[in-house]
Amino acid sequence: MAVIAPSGAPAAPTPTRTGSTPSVSQPRAWVGWLFIAPNLIGVLLFTLVPLVSVVLLSFTEWNLVSGFGGIDFVGLENFVDVFQDPAFWNSVVLTLVYAGVSVPLTTILGMALGLALNRDVPGRAALRAIFFVPYIVSVVAIGMTWLMLMNPSAGLINQVLGALGLQDAPAWFASSYWALPALIVIAVWSGVGYAAVIYLSALQDAPTQLYEAADLDGAGAWTKFRVITWPSLVPTTVFLLVTLFIGASQGFGLIALITAGGPGDSTTTLPFYMYQTGFQFYRFGYASAIGMVTFLGVLALTLVTWRAQRGRALHD
Amino acid sequence: MTDVIRSRHARRQRWLWGAPLWVLALAFLAPFAWMLSTAFKRDADAFTVPMDWIPDRATWDAFGTVLFGESSIVPAFANSVFVAALRVIGEVVTATMAGYAFARIRFAGRDTVFLLYLATAIIPAQLLLVPRFVYFQTLGLYDTLWALILPGMFTVLGTFLMRQFFVSQPAEFAEAARIDGASEWQIFWRIYLPMATPVMSALGILAFVWSWNDYEAPLVLISSPETYTLPLSLSNFTDEQGSLSPSLSMAASAVSIIPVLIVFLVLQKRFVQAMTHTGIK
């Protein structure tokens, strides 16, 4: 469709009202390029070059110390190693547990909160803001606060649990069993308000006439939820499950700050394992391969979820 | 009379749901209350049992040390402001121009470039940390603020956000203006840009929060304390035993979240819209 006029040469005159001015109704090609140039050049330099590099690096063995001359091309060796690496599979399991618990919990609690906030309650706007705040605060401020709240002997959480009569309160980050659940608690606390706000905006579009009709038919609250509300929330739910899952499988900030993957390797999730391999052991090739496998795995899971949801939507 | 009864009933009905929600909201705020309370304490009083929400011996000492002491967070705060300012300006300007061209100007090669953008959009930032580390080392930008600023100024995601907006705007304005002989820049500047200011400010808010809270990139790309941004400098306050000092780290955290909180409280509606539309933190 685009009319390409070689710059400098006059474009073929287009028959328009104004007559002889070249390319009146079609801008010249270079104008468009000029608009995207600042962004495009930056994206090429700072995203695309690194992206190509990480793919290339994943086929090499290299630590920074040996300099560029020390880059060894090893073919698929890193990928073979990744799949035979017990530490990698440990991270896969931890990541799946972490995401598999925190994501559905955040979504379900977010939905409950969204439904509650959708009612006419006093101070609704303030409530919405309060629940949203943890989502926008930096992971460092949040992490340090929770680290102290979860202090095994004198932290507020265990004080409350003790007051409730719990004898052996969890040691949280001091325990290789409780460290991952502690991270899950923080993730749910900081994500629930976000999920609730997403559900709220979906609920605003819910069909009011249907509720009125259901009231006339004498339908109960549960029936109304199941028949009217829930179907209109399915797309939102899938959106949240997917985006929260992607987020949970990528972040390592909280782990790097609080646990450094420990105690032992009890919180070494995939993104943290990649970070550790790359920036603590300086094995760039292997770290790139871990990153690539993680990315492709998450991408595959996302596509499967999306297709399943589309298939179901077509069925209904 | 019946009206009074009905309204009293309605009010009770509202609080029936409202009261538990408010209790839950206060519990949600407890970590922030703890942060503030501890920031006004001495370290020795931080872990008293039972918890002492309003310290008897409240003191500003921790804030004094954090702001004016030897390892003051003020330089890191300034670094964070500098990084955020350049990233916000850069991202909003370049994404608006590119998003506009992708949506409203037809030119050869446009769709190919756009496909390239689409493919790049799904790449997580964490995957690019290793190559960016190597890359910025070779460019001599490792351990400078530019390693944080440059990737944030030119983003695919911001371009998508802006393109989505411009695509939804009528093309007829541009066509009419072209017939009247307006240049492409005039069409952009005079017609479409004024319509885009709400979306641009939403993108600006997002860019600010991403930049302000970013911890993973500086963790990898910054090494010397003079170059620290705020998130890196927060976890450096230790007591004599070398463990985290509760009062100092809480005071520093409290100071660090003020800018984001202000932006959130002032621009709340737009803020929430921007965050919920992208699904990316």
Please indicate, yes or no, whether the overall pTM of this predicted structure exceeds 0.90. no
Residues of chain A above pLDDT 90, percent: 52
Q: Does A144 touch chain B (CB under 8 A)?
A: yes
In this complex, the residue of A136, A155, A291 whose CB is nearest that of residue B127 is: A291
- Residues B166-183 pLDDT 10s: 998 888 888 888 888 888
Tokens standing for A197? 């706000």
Q: How far apart are CA A286 and CA A97, in angstroms?
A: 24
CB-count burial class (<10 Å; 0-12, 13-18, 19+) for B42? middle
Q: Does B14 touch chain A (CB under 8 A)?
A: yes
Whether B130 sits inside 8 A of A49 (CB atoms) is no
Q: Does B58 touch chain A (CB under 8 A)?
A: no
E strand or H helix at A17 = none
Question: In a 3-state reduction of DSSP, which class is residue B57?
Answer: coil
Using an 8 Å CB-CB cutoff, list chain B residues near A132.
264, 272
Chain A, 296 to 315: residues with Cβ < 8 Å from chain B are 298-299
Chain A, 17 to 76: residues with Cβ < 8 Å from chain B are 17-18, 21, 24-33, 35-36, 38-43, 45-51, 53-54, 57, 64
Using an 8 Å CB-CB cutoff, list chain A residues near B43.
none
Q: DSSP assignment, residue B40?
A: T
Q: Does A179 touch chain B (CB under 8 A)?
A: no
Whether B31 sits inside 8 A of A271 (CB atoms) is no
Residue A47 vs residues A42, B126, B249: alpha-carbon distances, Å: 8, 12, 34
Whether B234 sits inside 8 A of A50 (CB atoms) is no
Give how far B29 is from chain A: nearest CA, Å.
Answer: 7
Average pLDDT, chain A: 85
Residue of B nearest to A195 (CA): B276
Asked if residue A16 has pLDDT above 50, the reply is no
For residue B250, what pLDDT band results from cuts at 50, 70 and 90? very high
Q: How far apart are CA B246 and CA B66, in angstroms?
A: 12
The pLDDT value recorded for residue B277 is 65
- Residues A204-213 pLDDT 10s: 877 778 888 8
Task: Give the 3-state DSSP-derived string for A23-80, with helices as H, strands as E and coil as C.
Answer: CCCCCCHHHHHHHHHHHHHHHHHHHHHHHHHHHHHCCEECEHHHCHHHCEECCCHHHH
CA atoms within 13 A on the CB side of B168: 8
Mean pLDDT of A250-260: 92
Q: Which of A105-114, B94-103, B168-177 has the lowest mean pLDDT?
A: B168-177
Q: Does A11 touch chain B (CB under 8 A)?
A: no
In this complex, the residue of A28, A130, A149 whose CB is nearest that of residue B29 is: A130
The pLDDT value recorded for residue B171 is 87
For residue A275, what pLDDT band results from cuts at 50, 70 and 90? very high
Q: DSSP assignment, residue A5?
A: P
Whether B106 sits inside 8 A of A117 (CB atoms) is no
The pLDDT value recorded for residue A13 is 42
Q: Does B16 touch chain A (CB under 8 A)?
A: no
What ranges make up the beta strands (E) of B107-220? none
Using an 8 Å CB-CB cutoff, list chain B residues near A131.
25, 28
Give how far A93 is from chain B: nearest CA, Å.
Answer: 19
Whether B95 sits inside 8 A of A26 (CB atoms) is no
